[in-house]
Amino acid sequence: MAMNIGGDSGDAPSMMAAINTTPLVDVMLVLLIIFLITIPVITQHVKVKLPHANNIPTVTKPHEITISVTRNGSIYWGTELVPSSRRLLQKIEQVAVEVPQPAVKIRGDRNADYRYIGHVLYELERGGMVKVDFISEPSAHELGAH
């Protein structure tokens, strides 16, 4: 606590009601410094020679397969025309056993009959593919056009 040695009006001296926190802050800083210095001394380790290791993460990313279906029902594996359903199933079965299994992305023409795309989905299921996505274009409303 601090003392005020004289009153404003020249009356008898009175005590100040405010607490002086400066000594408290000084003591806390000294304790913090002592704590920071002594922690490494307190922590004890047994000295051993640890082995060295090369930690190189191996990330295996599955590749993606794009299957396109045109308006007239033609099926393309990437850019290669697939001539028949039997050949499509063979290609699917070849990649379905890969670990990790690749993702299949279907690009269907907006004017194609659903039966063509449904046929591709059926062959993907028969071949054992698990992850199938559809690729579409955002509408003009989603792009912000009004």
pLDDT in tens, 46-89: 676 666 666 666 555 668 999 999 999 999 999 999 999 999 99
At 23, the pLDDT band (50, 70, 90 cuts) reads confident
Q: What is the dihedral of CA 36, 37, 39, 41, to 10 degrees?
A: 170
pLDDT digits (tens, 9 = 90+) for 33-54: 988 888 877 666 667 666 666 6
- The whole-number pLDDT of residue 65 equals 93
User: Quick one: fold of 64-135?
Assistant: Nucleotidyltransferase; domain 5 (3.30.420)
- The whole-number pLDDT of residue 8 equals 57
Whether the predicted pLDDT of 1 surpasses 60: no
Q: Is the pTM of this model over 0.75?
A: no
Residues 27-42 as b/e (b if ≥16 CB within 10 A, e otherwise) read: eeeeeeeeeeeeeeee
Mean pLDDT of 18-39: 87
